[in-house]
Chains A and B, each alone.
Chain A
Amino acid sequence: MSRQGEPIADYNPRYWRTLDELANTPEFREWIAKEFPHGVDLEGLSRRRWLQLMAASFTLAGFAGCRWEKTEIVPFVHRPTGRIPGKPERFATAMDLSGEVTGLVATCVDGRPIKLEGNPVHPSSLGGTDAFAQAAVLQLYDPDRSRDVIARSDGQWVVRSWEDFTAALRERVAATSSGEGWVFVTGATSSPTVRRLRKLLEQRWPKAQWFTYEPLHDDFVRRGTREAFGVEARPVYRLNQAKVILALDADLFFESTGHVRAARDFAATRDGNPDRMSRLYAVETRWTLSGSSADHRLPLSPGEISAFVDALENCLATLAAGESLPDIGSSPDQSPEARYRAVFLKAVAEDLWQYRGRSVVAAGNWLGPEVHAAVARINKRLESLGGPVVYLPVSDPMTARTAESLHALHELLVSGSVQNILFADTNPVYSAPLAMKLNQLIERIPFSAHLGLYADETALSCRWHIPMAHFLEAWGDAETWDGTYTVVQPMIAPLWGGKSVIELLSLFLDANKNAQDWVYETFQARYPHSQAADWERCLAQGLFREENRQLNSLTELANTAKREIPGDAVERFVAGEKSTGNSVSVLLTADYSVYDGRFANNAWLQEWPDPVTRLTWGNAAVIGVETARGLDCKDGSVIRLEVSSATLDLPVVVVPGIPPRTVVVSLGYGRSAAGHVGGLVRENIPPVGVNTYALRSDASQFVFSGVKVTKLPRNQPLASVQDHHLIDRVGLQGRVERLGELVREVTLERLTDPHEPYSAEEVVHHPPLESLWPEHTYDGHRWGMAVDLSKCIGCGACVVACQAENNIPVVGPAQVMRSREMHWIRIDRYFTGTPENPRTVHQPVMCQQCEMAPCEQVCPVAATVHSHEGLNDMVYNRCIGTRYCANNCPYKVRRFNYFYYHKDLDNPRNEVQKMVYNPEVTIRSRGVMEKCTYCVQRIQNAKIEAKNQRRPLIDGEIQTACQQVCPAQAIVFGDLADPSSAVAQLHQSNRAYGMLAELNVKPRTKYLARVRNPHPALQAIEYREPAATHEHGA
């Protein structure tokens, strides 16, 4: 390393200006040897795209045809067998997000992973993924990832080498035989190899201390299950077996174990088939994905939820005793609210009981242990254990997402007995309660090292920082909740010579074994009888299939599980909690974009709108309509939250359906050392959002009651992608009037009414539609799409998938505020019902590829025209940017490049980010229109493939990016010309309708009406309010 030992004032990653500069580093040699030749192997498509990216300004593309741009073709010297330049290759791997595993298939072009898909044969995903997995590739190529081993000597950061570190480490290791004074801190992981390494190390060093730390912990769940079963366990839900589901602020499709699979299983029960159709009740404080896909949702403040659970347990006890529930919801002196609660409780209890054995009760991680214990008992009583609900004992400490450890760690550090500390893939300094002053404690320790993707808050208080290898760069393995052994393969050699946790730990054991050896050893140890072929298959499929593996699910309650429930629990719940002055309770939640903060520097996720608040780039205090009225707040007005430990100033977002006197804020923002995207104080880049961990204390982690809240006299604009400005009365009225036609809903009852067959098309009556132009005719394919609103859970993975597939630029908060976000697919979120207790619906809207496309008729230069397969082609290189097409698009799905949004790539330090681009898709320049193309690049390549093989296309062979990622399989794409194709079938469904079809644009994308399965008693109340009140912000 050339600049070794040279001091740099404050740590700044070293950015290569030219390839040559980088070329004299060993990492680069290794890298170039392994990957880069393909990386810059300027052959074929990849070469074109590469050139394009390298071009100083993209406008060069316009001149590419000029006379004559001298470009070189650099072929292999030895081409690896089977490697065809420019042809994508696919390898199985997996992503382990603090113990939660998603099986993946990575698409690599010329040695660069550019896209991740769910592994269809992997039980955790069955082909879908969440947004985090989609954004992982951007993280891999994040220019802000730390690139050097750095060390702090007398306050200065110095670039060192891996060898220096190992030398220093060896010294420290030699000093002890028992591990005295050594502390290891890691994040939760499911990796069997890491766990094995820990065990080995523990045997060698009995005195060494180990801590696993996850700020978004499930301690309460495990405590609750300990109370119920006597052992710590983790609940897993198999929703495809469920008929009635009760989610107690449980985010089934985001936080719960196996969430991607859960979405698939749930969606399978929502297609309007009365035998399968499930009913989902959500009782929650915040808006979870479960809440927004629920049939009934009861907003309760954090305190009331446990009251509800008690009441429910009583009701079930009554029912179990064979008695029927007392009529609690009909006394005339009850407030309507109380009556509603009573009816709701009764409905839930009876429903659960009626379908016992097929009913699920799930509770959110933040709820107290007693709630989880109660939930376990309820599930037991409902005879669901081992069926739709599975409680799996948490055997290994490393798989547990715990934060309790932090307390112990803190005490240990205070005691001063710690001589050496090692942080691996964890960032406690950022998320720990401020009062702990972890950073100061760590700085005092003689030897402290941090292994991480970024030189983050924790790294900066250590003495050493080692760049960590991204999971796409390193060997590893993982284990899903059901014990499926999953292998993690590297797709590319470490870009910056990063090391994985395995490699770090192996330093203490056997330095001359590499990660692959360790993983293979684990595999062999785990499957002694396996052959080499099994390993090969394991690598090929990404997992090892075991025949008849049993889940050791807990089914028997421990006798400690008994608990006295006050007899008047029901009455107490129905009465509701009394208002307590102007103090509110605050709930901290995981963030849909940045999770616990680890994705703060991922621009795709930062700009990815929250499913319900539709907020991008930062967090905000989410409050209900009543609270807003009480505080006289509007979207964007700033409030101050004061707890004993800290005060926070946050902008407000008013969202209907958040209970009164409650503030919901997400964690993970306000990073001071995330990077150039998420905030980098040392380079005066302000943090995005507010660090709400600041509220945390040893005592309380998620819920804070009696928080003093005051409105500040200032406003802060919010980067929201919907309701850009507070909607006025006229707007609300107009929205309410059209909503029923845009997003069509039907109750199961109506859908299955034998006397009067339902047809979504007939919701809108219009005169016969006659076309001005002769309509197109087709002899070949006719591509089309169907979006099932009933299956869509609004998780938004499709948005990121589309962004990754189609090289969609990130525009930043300022542009989002100007309403110029570029996402090709957006998920409109609408509320119906009362502001206090609304229902939501999510509607993915992408280009509908209209048959009589209004955009095509108005483009003066014919830059958007109809293809012979019915696609609405958008030709970037012909577009001159009159934007007439976008004006004339009734769906407003066209996006315009108001600026040159790839400018940041001209900065040498961002070179590496160019590797994320999909070579199959042109990168759009400034001043051109762009839009969803049904992933035409996938269509074309599949067609050529099939033709070369002289065979017809198979239905389902072509998947659009959004379809492929969708965990709920709500999106189906295919050939309408083939009546047997899945999409053609769906277009025939009586739920199918074309949005705004009355305009005679003949959309090719049809929506399937959302099926709701309301409980009759509740339906009678909920679905009755006058339309005018159906909105928030009024």
Chain B
Amino acid sequence: MGSASTISRQPEVDNTMSDPTSRPPLVLGQHDFATVTETVARIPERPGTTLAWKLSFAVAASLATMFVVLTGYLFVTGIGIWGNNSPVFWGFPIVNFVFWVGIGHAGTLISAILFLFRQHWRTSINRFAEAMTVFAVVCAGIFPAIHVGRVWYVYWLLPYPNPMGMWPNFRSPLLWDVFAVGTYMTVSVLFWYLGMIPDLATLRDRATRPLPRLLYGLFSLGWSGSARHWHRFEKAYLFLAALATPLVLSVHSVVSFDFAVSLIPGWHTTIFPPYFVAGAIFSGFAMVVTLMVPAREFFGLKDLVTLRHLDNMNKFILATSFMVGYAYLIEVFMAWYSGNKYELFTFINRALGPYAWAYWTMVICNVAIPQLFWFKKCRTTPWIMWIIAIFVNIGMWFERFVIIVTSLSRDFLPGSWALYKPTLIDFLMLIGSFGIFFTLFLLFCRYLPMVAMAEVKTVLPQAQVHHRHAAEEHAPSELEYAR
């Protein structure tokens, strides 16, 4: 493990060059299978936890607790404790919901689509992204559930035979949501877990203390690394990837239907599905960068998560930022072109009305600031890209705020207009949701393999067939097991 630590202590190597004669390495340092395992497995195997981890976990966990307590208060008192009013019947909770669902997009995209497109650079970040996806979707799932007025009847959203002879209304986008998000959640979890099995087995075999050994053992489902296992594993992984790919598009399209299907000016737009999906990927990648930059720093993963990885993600961010910007433009254009006075007013009102500040925050964070990624320096300097990514996260939250609040607060009849003022509890619950997210995430970093060791190994030069001896070194555990 000394070697690994020395490797990680070396200065950053820029592998973002594109030299036609040779493939740029996806893993730096003198890594072989053993050191890769070493670098990654070292983290969960570390006996004690670092002070930094303890502190951040304390903070995150207490925020999460606050969220739980507030939820209890909410159930007892009623959602009047939020700022929602008439006409703005949806406020922060739905904004947060859409925000988190968006975040939860990069995961599947990276793991599934990039996998299908044989983008090998994904291997060192996909685990990470998938985990983030799962946690984000967890946060997202909470809000729609608790935002209903009579949460104790929320199960009525599910179609099940009952003595009332009642079924849900399948015309309602909210119902589509239930299915879309539900499916997405399931598949993401499966995908994440399935991919993790070989690594869990590795941890199991390396484990020295009984408890980890037992747990890793249970969850690695008796993985023995036999050729048959590998065969099945890769099949299943491929199937899931194929299955998940359409979900990337479907989930956020469906979420966007919540708005697009309604007739409120500023919601009633056909551009919403692609616009939302682009935005989701945008925010998803931003969040990966936000988490990845510090993580690779603290956990010494610079060799596996190289600048090239970050560079690629930043390119994604830049591209999707353009799509989002285009959507903003086209929305305004269509409002004018449609000649619908209510639609047009909504956009004038967004840009110049009482919520103009939110609108322009959104535009600046989502369109202006990402332009910095034109400069290679910004794409390859961790602290810069980190700051930019933070801005994108903020911007994307405001995008949802603008869509929901500005449209509702001034719709058709001026007689019913009213502004929306969030309460303190609104803010606390927003923060609390971050608490939940980071709690889960810190646990992940501490106890699970952050990088898909098995997959990374496949992109090592040793993994190429002509490296004969490499084959023997490969997965010693498996050989022993066979004995």
Contact = CB atoms under 8 A, between A and B. Distances in A.
A725 to B, nearest CB: 5
A862 B87 contact: no
Interface string B406-439: 0010111111111101000000000000000000
Nearest to A884: B174
A526 interface: no
Contacts of A890: 263-264, 411-413
A857 B147 CA distance: 20
A859 B169 contact: yes
B335 to A, nearest CB: 13
Contacts of A737: 341, 345
Q: Which of B77, B79, B154, B173 has the most CB of A within 10 A?
A: B79
B348 A886 contact: no
A730 B411 contact: no
Contact of B148 (A722, A729, A882, A895): A882
A722 B412 contact: no
B149 interface: yes
B157 A860 contact: yes
B234 to A, nearest CB: 40
B84 to A, nearest CB: 7
B222 interface: no
Interface string B144-170: 000111111110110000000011110
Contact of A738 (B149, B174, B342): B342
Interface string B264-275: 100000000000
11 contacts: A725-B354, A728-B354, A819-B87, A819-B418, A829-B415, A859-B172, A878-B166, A880-B150, A892-B86, A894-B86, A895-B86
A881 to B, nearest CB: 2
A729 B349 CA distance: 10
Contacts of A928: 149-150
Interface stretch (A267-275, A799-807, A897-905): A897-905
B353 interface: yes
B85 A820 contact: yes
Given A731-B349, A860-B174, A888 B167 contact: no
B90 A883 contact: yes
A195 interface: no
Contact of B86 (A880, A886, A926, A1001): A886
B333 interface: no
A132 B186 CA distance: 60
Given A820-B80, A857-B171, A858-B174, A724 B417 contact: yes
A745 to B, nearest CB: 16
Interface in B355-407: none
A500 to B, nearest CB: 42
B175 interface: yes
Nearest to B157: A860
B295 interface: no
A1023 interface: no
B149 A999 contact: no
Given A734-B349, A859-B169, A886-B86, A843 B415 contact: yes
Contacts of A436: none
Given A722-B415, A826-B415, A927 B148 contact: yes
Contacts of B410: 731, 734
Interface in A925-981: 925-929
Contacts of A815: 80
A550 B206 CA distance: 112
Given A738-B412, A820-B80, A883-B90, 10 more contacts: A725-B354, A734-B414, A857-B169, A861-B169, A880-B154, A887-B89, A890-B411, A892-B86, A899-B77, A899-B80
Contact of B263 (A739, A773, A854, A926): A854
B141 interface: no
B89 A880 contact: no
Contacts of B264: 887-888, 890
A879 B417 contact: no
B78 interface: yes
A800 to B, nearest CB: 19
B353 A731 contact: yes
B459 to A, nearest CB: 45
B419 A888 contact: no
A879 B345 contact: no
Contacts of B416: 826, 828, 845, 891-892
A1007 to B, nearest CB: 12
Contacts of B419: 724-725
A11 interface: no
A722 B415 CA distance: 6
A738 B85 contact: no
A730 B174 contact: no
A818 interface: yes
- Give the dominant DSSP class at A's interface: loop
B402 to A, nearest CB: 15
Contacts, number: 189
The 4 closest A-B pairs by CB, nearest first: A881-B149, A927-B149, A828-B415, A898-B80
Nearest to A890: B412
Contact of B150 (A724, A927, A1001): A927
A830 interface: yes
A996 interface: yes
B262 interface: yes
Nearest to A722: B415
Contact of A818 (B85, B149, B341, B411): B85
Contacts of B79: 881, 898, 927
Given A725-B418, A861-B156, A819 B174 contact: no
A865 B168 CA distance: 12
Nearest to A885: B89
A773 B170 CA distance: 13
A856 B171 CA distance: 9
A670 to B, nearest CB: 28
Q: Which of B149, B341, B417 has the most CB of A within 10 A?
A: B149
Given A730-B349, A731-B410, A880-B154, A862 B168 contact: yes
Nearest to B423: A818
A738 B411 contact: no
Contacts of B157: 860-861, 880
A896 interface: yes
Contacts of A828: 413-416
B415 A883 contact: no
A880 B415 contact: no
B178 interface: yes
A909 interface: no
Contacts of B190: none
A929 B151 CA distance: 14
B429 to A, nearest CB: 16
Contact of A883 (B89, B172, B349, B352): B89
A195 to B, nearest CB: 46
Q: Which of A722, A724, A730, A815 has the most CB of B within 10 A?
A: A730
A276 to B, nearest CB: 30
Interface in B116-161: 147-154, 156-157
B262 A742 contact: no
A735 interface: yes
A966 B204 CA distance: 80
A891 B172 contact: no
Given A742-B413, A818-B85, A881 B148 contact: yes
B172 A860 contact: yes
Nearest to A854: B263
Given A730-B348, A860-B175, A896 B89 contact: yes
Contacts of A900: 78
B263 A880 contact: no
Contacts of B154: 880
A65 to B, nearest CB: 9
Nearest to A882: B148
A892 B409 CA distance: 11
B261 interface: yes
Q: Which of B152, B171, B408 has the most CB of A within 10 A?
A: B171
Contact of B348 (A725, A734, A887, A891): A734
B255 to A, nearest CB: 13
